[in-house]
């Protein structure tokens, strides 16, 4: 695809439905960016982990939540980096619970938003893309996955220009994540965890 014109130069089974894997996190990021653009939160807003988020399997940031020690929290900026670079499942759930109240409600909102964006056959069951045989299948096409990555990149540029808080490194990280997540449609593998972001506990 030509990044300047969005013209498709070469495609193969671009409209075949596949499981989205961590492309789901790209949609979670998109919802988070829209929340920032609406002014509902800033990059400095702190997100607090729940027990549900802390129980998520790898890849994860390693957030903890207990009655005795309290629950870890990170900033929205750290959450963006953890999702884009490390593909952190615990952070995906934390974002979902903040934006939707529950992960299931957020997933429904995410599916509805995807339909509004023209992803008519896409269905999300959770915020991370982890397999869940008890839920309806989550499907996305290659063509729409590439469109979604482009939309996320444009959101980063918009936010960075407006707030001067996200630099080229953040955009590059998400571009890399989009490429890796797209390959996961066929390879179904995620690699290269990033260093943990600093957290606070309350």
How many angstroms separate the Cα of 184 from the Cα of each of 17, 69, 73, 201? 13, 36, 29, 33
The 10 Å CB-count burial string (b at 16+, else e) for 109-132 is bbbebbeeeebeebbbbbbbbbee
Contacts of 54 (CB under 8 A, 6+ apart): 63, 64, 65, 71, 72, 90
Q: Which residues are catalytic?
A: 22, 25, 87
Closest CA to 75 of 49, 103, 107: 49
Contacts of 12 (CB under 8 A, 6+ apart): none
Contact of 55 with 177, CB cutoff 8 Å: no
Q: What's the rounded Cα separation, in Å, for the pair 13 and 6?
A: 18
């Amino acid at each position: 695809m030509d990044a300047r014109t969005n013209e498709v130069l070469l495609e193969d089974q671009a409209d075949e439905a596949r499981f989205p894997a961590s492309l789901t996190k790209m949609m979670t990021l998109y919802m988070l960016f829209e929340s920032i653009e609406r002014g509902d939160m800033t990059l400095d807003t702190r997100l607090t982990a729940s027990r549900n988020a802390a129980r998520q399997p790898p890849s994860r940031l390693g957030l903890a939540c207990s009655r005795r020690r309290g629950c870890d929290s990170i900033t929205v900026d750290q959450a963006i980096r953890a999702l884009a670079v490390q593909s952190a499942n615990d952070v995906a759930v934390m974002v979902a619970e903040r934006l939707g109240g529950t992960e299931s409600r957020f997933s429904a909102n995410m599916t509805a938003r995807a339909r509004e964006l023209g992803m008519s056959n896409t269905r999300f069951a959770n915020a991370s893309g982890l397999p869940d045989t008890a839920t309806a299948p989550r499907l996305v096409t290659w063509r729409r996955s590439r469109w979604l990555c482009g939309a996320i990149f444009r959101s980063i540029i918009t936010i960075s220009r407006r707030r001067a808080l996200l630099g080229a490194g953040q955009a590059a990280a998400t571009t890399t994540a989009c490429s890796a997540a797209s390959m996961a449609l066929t390879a179904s593998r995620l690699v290269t965890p990033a260093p943990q972001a600093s957290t606070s506990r309350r």
